[in-house]
Amino acid sequence: MRPTMPLLLITILQGLSGGLTLAAAAFSFLLPTDARAITWALLLSFGIAVIGGISSFFHMHRPQAGKYILRRLKTSWLSREALTTGLYAMVLGVVALGPLVLPVNQWWFWVGSIVAALFGVVAMFVTAMLYATIPAMRSWHSPLTVLSMMAVGLTSGGYIMLAVLAIAQDIAAVHRLAIFLLLATAVIAVIKLLQWKLFSDARRSLNAATGTGMPRGPYRIIDTGTTRPPYQTQTQVWPDLAPTLRGGLYIVAMVALAILPAAILVAIISGSPQALLTVTAALSVLLGTFAERWLFFGDATHSSKVWFVDQEKVASRVASDRVSPAFVHRFRNL
C-alpha cells in the first residue's frame, strides 16, 4: 500500500497520545509523583492528539463527505474509529485544560486521567481493528496487527513520559518506568519479528499459481478503471520494495525501536538518570515507530496484486480443477 504522510501521522500520533495518557494515569493513581509531570504529560498528550486529528482531514479524499462518517457504526470500523478517537480527544481536552481554568485537586488527575486513558485504549484498539479486519490485505488480517499497533503506541507514549519525569527530576519514578519499558521493549521486538515474518509469507503466497488467498468467489468488478486509473493501482498495489530497501528499513526500525532504547534503559537503571538520555531514547523510539509504520503500509500485500502486478505465466492451482490439461499445457507455453 502506498503510505501517505497524513495516514502515518494519524496512526503514530494516536498511539503516542494514548500511551502517554495511560502512563500519566498510572503515575497519578498507582505511583504518585510530581503533579507538574502529570500536568505536562496530559497537555503534551492533548497537543499530540490534536495534531493527529488535524492530519485526518488531509487524509480524506473528499472532506465534504466527512459529515457522513458516523452513519455506519454498526458495521464499519472506520465509523467507530472516528467516534472513539473524537471522544478520546474531547475527554482528554477537558482533563488536560481543566486545571488552567478551574481550581482542581489531586482527584481531578486521578479520575480524569484514568477515564481519558480508558477512552484512549479503546480508540487505539478500534483503529487497529480497522486494519486487522480487512481480509483482502493479507499482511494485516491477523491478531498481530492489533498487538503490534497497541504495543508500539503504548510503549512509545511511555518513553515520552520517561523524558517528562526526568525533566521534572522525579528520579524514583524514572527508575520504575524504565524497568517496565525494558520489558515492554523486549515484547515489541518479538511481536515485530513475528509480524514481519507474516508480511514475508503473504508476499510469497499471493501469485498467479496460488490465487488471491481469499475464499473462492463469486467476485464482481467494482472499479473498471475506464474513467480513471483503478483504485487498486492508486493506493493498494504498487511495486514491491527492493530487498535492500526493505532490509535496511527493518534494521533501522529494530535498532531505533528496540535495541538502542533498551541499551539506554539499562544505563538509566544502573546509574543516575539524565534528562538527555531519556530524551534520546524517546527520539529514537519515535524514529523507529515512523520506520515501523511506514513498513506497515509500504510493505503490505493486497490480494488484488494477483491481477495488477506482472507475474510469471503459470497455471493457477485455484482453477486447475476447472480446466482441461490441454488448456493448462497451452497456457504454460504462451
Domains of the chain: 5-61+69-211+235-332 (1.20.1630.10)
For Cα atoms 217, 302, 312, give the angle at the middle one, nearest 5 degrees. Answer: 85
Question: Closest by alpha carbon to 128, among 185, 188, 78, 59?
Answer: 78
Q: Which amino acid is at 132?
A: A
Q: Where do the H-state alpha helices sit in 170-274?
A: 171-205, 231, 243-254, 260-270
Please state the rounded mean pLDDT for residues 239-268: 92
Please state the rounded mean pLDDT for residues 288-294: 95
The region of weakest confidence among 67-71, 154-158, 232-236, 268-272 is 232-236
Query: Which residue carries 477512552 as its cell?
Result: 119
Long-range contacts, stretch 101-107, CB < 8 angstroms, 24+ apart: 106/28, 106/35
**CA 58 distance to own-chain centroid:** 18
The answer to whether residue 37 scores a pLDDT higher than 80 is yes
* Backbone φ, ψ for residue 239 (5° rounding): -55, 145
Indicate the helix (H) or strand (E) that contains 290.
helix 275-298
Write down the pLDDT at residue 323: 47
Write down the pLDDT at residue 149: 95
In whole angstroms, what is the distance from residue 36 CA to residue 173 CA? 13
Top pLDDT among 30 and 193 is at 193
Query: Which residue carries 497455471 as its cell?
Result: 315
* Backbone φ, ψ for residue 8 (5° rounding): -60, -45
Write down the pLDDT at residue 195: 95
Share of the chain above pLDDT 70, in %: 77
Query: Which residue carries 544502573 as its cell?
Result: 270
- pLDDT for 65-122, tens place per residue? 667 778 888 888 989 998 999 999 999 999 999 888 777 777 788 888 899 999 999 9
In whole angstroms, what is the distance from residue 172 CA to residue 142 CA? 39
- pLDDT for 124-151, tens place per residue? 999 999 999 988 888 999 999 999 999 9
Question: Closest by alpha carbon to 269, among 194, 191, 186, 162?
Answer: 162
Q: Any residues with CB less than 8 A from the CB of 327 and at least 6 apart, and which?
A: none
**CA 249 distance to own-chain centroid:** 16
Write down the pLDDT at residue 147: 95
Beta bridge partners of 211: 207
The region of weakest confidence among 40-44, 159-163, 220-224 is 220-224
In whole angstroms, what is the distance from residue 99 CA to residue 35 CA? 11
Write down the pLDDT at residue 264: 94
The CA–CA distances, whole Å, from 303 to 78, 88, 324 equal 20, 34, 26
Q: In 10 A of CB 240, how many CB atoms?
A: 14
Q: Which of 104-108, 228-232, 248-252 has the highest mean pLDDT?
A: 248-252
Beta bridge partners of 252: none
Q: Mean pLDDT over all residues of the chain?
A: 83
Q: Any residues with CB less than 8 A from the CB of 315 and at least 6 apart, and which?
A: 209, 323, 328, 331, 332
Write down the pLDDT at residue 19: 94
Report residue 320's pLDDT band, with 50, 70 and 90 as the boundaries. very low
In whole angstroms, what is the distance from residue 334 CA to residue 329 CA? 9
Top pLDDT among 197 and 329 is at 197
The answer to whether residue 210 scores a pLDDT higher than 80 is no
Write down the pLDDT at residue 111: 86
Region of 213 please: left (phi>0), alpha (psi -120 to 50) or beta: left
Report residue 220's pLDDT band, with 50, 70 and 90 as the boundaries. low
DSSP label at residue 273: -
- pLDDT for 197-206, tens place per residue? 999 988 887 7
